[in-house]
């Protein structure tokens, strides 16, 4: 395997599948099987999931709700998704731990970096919920921060498209995908990879990003093996 320890970032919207809201159990089960495969192959796996399939704080703020309150509600949505993924993984025999940036002793551990690393070393999949625990920060930023803290080799951003394009491939059939990009090129081309806080954290800490299609069977395994899948953002 090319990568020994990875941070997998999944969007909440991806969990909806063809639904308009919530969690599609078929998609959830498929993701769990993909994670199981790489975990059993010896890859140390940490995961951060968004909450957009349930609630988005920034959209609530646009509707007049207090932004801070909305963001905390969004964090709780990520915990719901994290619990669902944990359950799906455990149902197929994958030892999993859920750590939250907000204390919820009855349902998950509080985030402690050393404990998270120890779980990974023991072969457990670790899911990080509740973002960073602070408003005004996205789950992309949370994923990057956790990736840096656990010293992950790479951030893998699983999406519905094959990689990073020069324009939205879901809206324009002439969109061209990049195989590799430098951090500088992403800035210059104004490409939408992650929010700027998350992207800058990766750049400053020399943490590469691979954007790939999580919905293609076997893609996750191919990425961690080092195959040319998706778009690599590196130095």
Q: For residue 45, what are the β-bridge partners?
A: 6
Pull the structure tokens for residue 215.
């919905």
Residue 43 pLDDT exceeds 90: yes
Residue 184 pLDDT exceeds 90: yes
Would you place residue 18 in the very low, low, confident or very high pLDDT band (cuts 50, 70, 90)?
Answer: confident
Considering only CA atoms, which of 107, 42, 41, 45 is closest in space to residue 76?
107
Per-residue pLDDT at 60: 72
- For the chain, percent of residues with pLDDT exceeding 70: 100
Separation CA 171–CA 70 (nearest Å): 29
Q: Which CATH class is domain 5-234?
A: alpha beta
pLDDT tens figures, 97-130: 999 999 999 999 999 999 999 999 999 999 999 9
| Between 56 and 2, residue with greater pLDDT | 2
Separation CA 61–CA 65 (nearest Å): 5
Domain ranges of the chain: 5-234
The mean pLDDT of the chain is 94
Per-residue pLDDT at 102: 97
Q: Which residue has the tokens 């490409």?
A: 191
Whether the CB-CB separation of 111 and 104 falls below 8 Å is answered with no
pTM > 0.85: yes or no: yes
Per-residue pLDDT at 131: 96
Please report which residue ranges of 150-230 form alpha helices under DSSP H: 183-189, 196-204, 219-225
Sequence-distant (≥ 6) Cβ neighbours of residue 64 within 8 angstroms:
none
Q: Tell how strand 180-182 and strand 231-234 pair up.
A: parallel
Residue 56 pLDDT exceeds 80: no
Task: Residue 66: count other Cβ atoms within 10 Å of its Cβ.
Answer: 12
Per-residue pLDDT at 173: 86
Per-residue pLDDT at 58: 72
Would you place residue 40 in the very low, low, confident or very high pLDDT band (cuts 50, 70, 90)?
Answer: very high
Secondary structure (3-state) at 202: helix
Segment (H or E) for 82: helix 67-91
pLDDT tens figures, 196-226: 999 999 999 999 999 999 999 999 999 999 9
């Amino acid at each position: 395997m090319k990568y020994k320890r990875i941070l997998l970032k999944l969007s909440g919207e991806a969990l909806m599948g063809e639904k308009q809201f919530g969690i599609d159990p078929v998609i959830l089960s498929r993701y769990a099987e993909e994670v199981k495969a790489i975990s059993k192959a010896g890859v140390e796996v940490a995961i951060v999931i968004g909450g957009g399939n349930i609630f988005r704080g920034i959209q609530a703020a646009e509707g007049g709700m207090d932004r801070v309150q909305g963001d905390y509600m969004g964090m709780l949505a990520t915990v719901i998704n994290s619990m669902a993924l944990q359950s799906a993984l455990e149902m197929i025999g994958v030892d999993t731990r859920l750590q939250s940036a907000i204390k919820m002793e009855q349902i998950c551990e509080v985030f402690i970096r050393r404990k998270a690393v120890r779980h990974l070393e023991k072969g457990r999949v670790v899911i990080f919920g509740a973002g960073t625990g602070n408003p005004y920060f996205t789950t992309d930023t949370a994923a990057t921060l956790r990736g840096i803290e656990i010293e992950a080799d790479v951030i893998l951003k699983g999406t519905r498209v094959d990689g990073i394009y020069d324009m939205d491939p879901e809206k324009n059939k002439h969109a061209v995908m990049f195989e590799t990009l430098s951090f500088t090129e992403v800035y210059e081309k104004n490409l939408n990879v992650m929010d700027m806080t998350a992207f800058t954290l990766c750049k400053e800490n020399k943490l590469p990003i691979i954007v790939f299609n999580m919905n293609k069977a076997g893609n996750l395994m191919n990425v961690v093996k080092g195959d040319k899948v998706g778009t690599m953002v590196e130095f």
